[in-house]
Amino acid sequence: MFVLVTFFSEASTSETVTPFRIVLGQYIGFTAIVTISLIGFGASFLLPTEPIRFMGLLPLLLGVWKLFDLLLPTTTAEPQISNIAGIRSTLKVSIITLMNGGDNIGTYVPLFSQTHKAEIVVYVVIYYILLGVWCLVAFLVMREKHILSLVRRYTRVVIPFLYIGLGLYIIIQSSCYPWSIQHIDDSVSAHPGKIIMSIVTTFLLSTCIGAMLWFKLRKKAAQPVPEVPLEGNPSPTLMHTIDGSHAS
């Protein structure tokens, strides 16, 4: 529900993230979860699901990007809504849905292994129906007038922190770091798993955040400075108007 509320909050002020694309992205992401679960079931549990949760770093970085948009605003021409922008927003929803559903993969694989083919179909159909119900509930919640008014007023400030919180939630609630640390410690006698994962994570986040900050600062510096007429000197537009009136 937290993920859906985040998406629908953004949809209240975005022209590319629409309720339809949110629902479509949710179903695409859930379909990917079911597909991976079936592959894991067919591979006799040889497919590790823990690394998928490392993708929780993506919504965290997306939140940092939107935070830079808030702190370093740029005046750009309003972009036209294109099919590419719509596809990107749908893929964003589906990817985050897949990342947040990493634990579901670990649940579905043993569940599918204990059921017959017909029962698997029933489970999947029920899950699809429940997903639609969750989307409808989140949509109706965000349609409440007092909630919608607050969302439209504060969404630009809140959305970056929602994405950052979502990324942290995915990482903290998952077993991706303990799983990686355990594998490193089992391979090296010195047990440097925590140190290696700390260094890798710090380097990765610092590099990505630094690159985003550099891009934002470069984009802001490249903006043309608007011409402000000096005191006592009329602007070129005003001079043109005066010249036209004298000519007439």
Q: What DSSP line would sit under 142-159, residue for residue?
A: HHSHHHHHHHHHHHHHHH
How far apart are the C-alpha atoms of 148 and 163, rounded to whole Å? 19
Q: How confident is the model at residue 157 (pLDDT cuts 50, 70, 90)?
A: confident
Res 78: pLDDT: 44
Q: At residue 206, does pLDDT exceed 90?
A: yes
Q: How confident is the model at residue 188 (pLDDT cuts 50, 70, 90)?
A: confident
182: left (phi over 0), alpha (psi -120 to 50) or beta: alpha
Higher pLDDT, 124 or 40: 124
* Dihedral sign for Cα atoms in the order 63, 65, 68, 70: negative
Q: Tell me which amino acid residue 126 is.
A: I
What would the two tokens of residue 151 be? 């969302």
Q: How confident is the model at residue 196 (pLDDT cuts 50, 70, 90)?
A: very high
Res 75: pLDDT: 60
Range of weakest confidence among 35-49, 69-83, 123-137, 176-190: 69-83
Percent of the chain scored above 90 by pLDDT?
Answer: 9
- Round the average pLDDT of the chain to a whole number and report it: 76
Q: At residue 101, does pLDDT exceed 60?
A: yes
Res 204: pLDDT: 92
What residues have CB less than 8 Å from 17, skipping those under 6 apart? 7, 10, 11, 89, 92, 93
Q: How confident is the model at residue 79 (pLDDT cuts 50, 70, 90)?
A: very low
Q: Tell me which amino acid residue 63 is.
A: G
What residues have CB less than 8 Å from 172, skipping those under 6 apart? none
Residue 184 has what DSSP assignment?
A: H
Q: At residue 80, does pLDDT exceed 70?
A: no
Res 211: pLDDT: 93
Residue 104 has what DSSP assignment?
A: H
Res 161: pLDDT: 86
Res 210: pLDDT: 93
* Dihedral sign for Cα atoms in the order 66, 71, 72, 78: positive
Instruction: Tell if the pTM clears 0.85, that is, is over it.
Output: no
Mean pLDDT, range 182-195, rounded to an integer: 88
Opening angle at CA 58, ends 223 and 111, nearest 5: 160
How far apart are the C-alpha atoms of 101 and 124, rounded to whole Å? 14
Q: At residue 55, does pLDDT exceed 60?
A: yes
Higher pLDDT, 85 or 103: 85
How far apart are the C-alpha atoms of 231 and 184, rounded to whole Å? 68
Range of weakest confidence among 79-83, 91-95, 111-115, 214-218: 79-83
Q: At residue 50, does pLDDT exceed 90?
A: no
Mean pLDDT, range 119-143, rounded to an integer: 84
